Amino acid sequence: MKITLARIPIGTTAGVNSFLRSCIMVPMTKHEIKLPSGDIVAYWEHHADKKPTIILVHGFTGSHEGFQYLVPLLTDFHLIIPDLPGFGVSPLPHDRLTLHGLGELLVDFVETINLPEKPHLLGHSMGSLVVSEAARQHSSAFAKKLILISPVPAPIGWVDERRPGAIFGQLYYKASHRLPIVGKHIATSSKLTRFSTRLIMTAKDADLRRVIHGHHLNNLNFISSISWYSRLHSEINRTGISRYKAALRQFNVLLVGGDRDNVTPLRLQRQAAKKIGAKLVSIPGVGHLAHYEKPTELAQAIVRFLR
């Protein structure tokens, strides 16, 4: 398989604007499919005539839109990008849905779309846990190469650099859920969203920063259940890919992390990689949002691994 990957010149404002326009123009097809459970999943398909297939799974509060900057860089792959149930435009089946349930729905989704060959799975952040859960439940449904971008490495401990962020997030979701009058305003606060995005964003270019803020603000329009978000956020903090050691050791796993990631720190990703027997690639100068800020470097790592 011969794959070429052009480098997108995003070091200047003109380069950023050109790259963003090219992403908007990428042809895509939106689908909706009903699973055997009756649940509806919306998904977007790119480069349908190519092989192999990669299913890209977004992170917490995200949607398929988070991967749009990878799409024009992975034109030699068939890409399928769902909105997980409860995120984006895919409806939440019930607010008792857990990581186990999301993994189960991902397995059902892959079996229902009935691909001619087993797909590779790629997950970002929380998506790494959903992918790991799906791989644990039905390892034979997927190709033997998994890609986990900025994965959640391990449960947050009492002495852990991630604990302040976890406490802030939990207070945010609990306040949004429990305060009867102002809760909704907290949940959809653009100021709080901008503040939290600034904490994890490393891009210096003003245009790119503005676009990332815009994506995160747009996600506020698709909050399905703030009480469910609160419980799922807590479960994510109690989980990590290291908990899936037995399942992930059946696969050839690539971890990709930014060396400035303060959400899933590279030090902890190294520990997780060692535990599950994975290869780790570090992208310099970026944090948790490599799929926005360093898509070329991320795409190159994906291509090298799958080639």
Inform me whether the pLDDT recorded for 155 exceeds 70.
yes
pTM above 0.85, yes or no: yes
- Measured distance CA(288)–CA(135) in Å, rounded: 23
Segment 193-226, tens digit of pLDDT: 999 999 999 999 999 999 999 999 999 999 999 9
pLDDT of 46-91, one tens digit each?
A: 999 999 999 999 999 999 999 999 999 999 999 999 999 999 999 9
Instruction: Answer with the residue of higher pLDDT: 25 or 190.
Output: 190
* DSSP assignments along the chain, one per residue: -----PPP--SSHHHHHHHHHHHHT---EEEEEE-TTS-EEEEEEE-TTSSSEEEEE--TT--GGGGTTTGGG-TTSEEEEEPPTTSTTSPPS-TT--HHHHHHHHHHHHHHHT-SSPPEEEEETHHHHHHHHHHHH-GGGS-SEEEEES---SPPPSS-TTHHHHHHHHHHHHHHHH-TTTHHHHHT-HHHHHHHHHHH-----HHHHHHHHHHHHHHGGG---HHHHHHHHHHHHT--GGGGHHHHTTSEEEEEEETT-SSS-HHHHHHHHHHHT-EEEEETT--S-HHHH-HHHHHHHHHHHH-
Q: Which pLDDT score, from 0 to 100, does residue 19 have?
A: 52
Residue 190: count other Cβ atoms within 10 Å of its Cβ.
11
Point out the least confidently predicted range of 128-137, 142-151, 168-177.
Answer: 168-177
Between CA 278 and CA 169 the distance in angstroms is: 29
**Least confident window among 10-14, 150-154, 274-278:** 10-14
Residues facing 255 on adjacent strands: 148, 280
The answer to whether residue 236 scores a pLDDT higher than 60 is yes
- How confident is the model at residue 11, as a pLDDT? 44
pLDDT at 15: 53
* pLDDT tens, position by position, 14-26: 455 555 545 544 5
